[in-house]
């Protein structure tokens, strides 16, 4: 296939738009190497595509799309009706019919390619907005959950049924002043551990309720839990006092009375 037939085949335009097969790519690249004028025309095509896409960053009018599609369909019908000859070559590549102007093929191909490009660009932008909106919704929901939790805690500690239990340290933990919130009506309790000193490395705080002279464990105190100094505390009926001891890591079944560091009475 000579240079004129190659230019008439439309392969150069299709190659510029990236819609050629591997075999066609090899044919085009061979012509680009042989003919400087073809390389010049190819560069002009690529520049025209880039400039057009930048200048008209919006969807082409629907009426123009329809005209191009109708023109292509009419030409296809004309080709089928008249059995126009096809120019063959050794590589098996077919040229465009002589009645189909190259500039119109180029314009139609460019138009459709840019339409697809702009549609994809718009779709990507919408997807980005959707992702941002979903992220914002998740953030808002997280904030709302935190707000609801804070409102719930505030309502609990200020309730008329919630008793404030002051837990004060002894000589083993001087200056320790804690506050527990005890609500028998809701069977719920909380403890503020913000002023609880850091325990020794091999010890852990454990809190006990005194019920009719028996010490019942309400659990270990984890000062790092959610970085929240106000922690839920196990509730037990008929408790008379709350007591905090230092125990081995993992806790004890019975309190180490000699390591009692703080206590407070429930009235």
The pLDDT of 109-130, averaged and rounded, is 70
Q: How far apart are CA 42 and CA 252, in angstroms?
A: 83
Strands across the sheet with 188-192, in order?
A: 214-220, 203-211, 241-248, 260-265, 163-169, 177-183, 188-192, 230-233
- The DSSP secondary-structure symbol of 99 reads T
CA distance 59 to 121: 10
The residue among 162, 155, 213, 212 whose CA lies nearest residue 187 is 162
CB atoms within 10 A of CB 119: 11
**CB-CB neighbours of 231 under 10 Å:** 16
**Helix/strand number for the chain, H first, E second:** 6, 8
Short-list 160, 112, 124, 88, CA closest to 13: 112
pLDDT category of residue 53 using cuts at 50, 70 and 90: low
Q: Which pLDDT does position 177 carry in this prediction?
A: 87
How do residues 217-267 score in pLDDT, each as one tens digit? 999 987 655 556 688 899 999 999 999 999 999 999 999 999 999 999 998
What is the mean pLDDT of the segment spanning 8-27? 82
| Mean pLDDT across 92-109 | 49
Q: Distance of CA 138 to CAs 69, 143, 150, 223, Å?
A: 45, 9, 18, 28
Note the pTM of the prediction, 2 decimals: 0.48
Task: Compute CA distances 110 → 13, 22, 99, whole Å.
Answer: 8, 21, 19
Beta bridge partners of 189: 182, 233
Whole-number average pLDDT of the chain: 77
Tell me the two tokens of residue 167.
Answer: 């837990």
| Mean pLDDT within 153-181 | 90
- The arithmetic mean of pLDDT across residues 83-93, rounded, is 43
Q: Which residues contact 137 (CB under 8 A, 6 or more apart)?
A: none
**Among candidates 232, 175, 173, 229, which has minimal Cα distance to 203?**
173
| Residue 13 and residue 113 in contact, taking contact as beta carbons nearer than 8 Å | no
Helix (H, G, I), strand (E, B) or coil at 35: coil
**CB burial of residue 6 (10 Å; 0-12, 13-18, 19+):** buried
- Tell me what pLDDT residue 75 has: 54
């Amino acid at each position: 296939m000579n240079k004129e037939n190659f230019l008439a085949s439309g392969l150069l335009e299709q190659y510029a738009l990236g819609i050629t097969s591997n075999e066609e790519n090899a044919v085009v690249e061979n012509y680009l190497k042989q003919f400087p004028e073809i390389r010049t025309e190819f560069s002009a095509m690529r520049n025209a595509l880039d400039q057009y896409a930048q200048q008209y960053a919006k969807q082409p009018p629907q009426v123009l799309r329809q005209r191009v599609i109708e023109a292509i369909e009419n030409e296809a019908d004309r080709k089928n009706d008249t059995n126009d000859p096809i120019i063959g070559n050794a590589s098996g590549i077919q040229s465009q019919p002589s009645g189909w102007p190259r500039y119109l093929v180029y314009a139609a191909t460019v138009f459709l390619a840019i339409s697809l490009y702009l549609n994809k660009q718009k779709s990507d932008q919408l997807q980005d907005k959707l992702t941002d909106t979903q992220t914002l919704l998740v953030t808002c929901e997280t904030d709302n959950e935190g707000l609801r939790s804070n409102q719930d805690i505030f309502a609990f500690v200020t309730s008329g049924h919630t008793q404030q239990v002051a837990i004060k340290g002894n000589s083993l933990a001087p200056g320790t002043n804690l506050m527990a919130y005890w609500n028998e009506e809701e069977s719920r309790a909380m403890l503020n551990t913000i002023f609880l000193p850091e325990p020794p490395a091999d010890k852990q705080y454990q809190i006990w309720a005194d019920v009719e002279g028996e010490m019942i464990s309400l659990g270990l105190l984890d000062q790092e839990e959610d970085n929240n100094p106000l922690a839920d505390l196990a509730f037990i009926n008929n408790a008379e006092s709350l007591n905090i001891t230092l125990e081995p890591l993992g806790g004890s079944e019975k309190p180490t009375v000699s390591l009692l560091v703080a206590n407070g009475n429930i009235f």
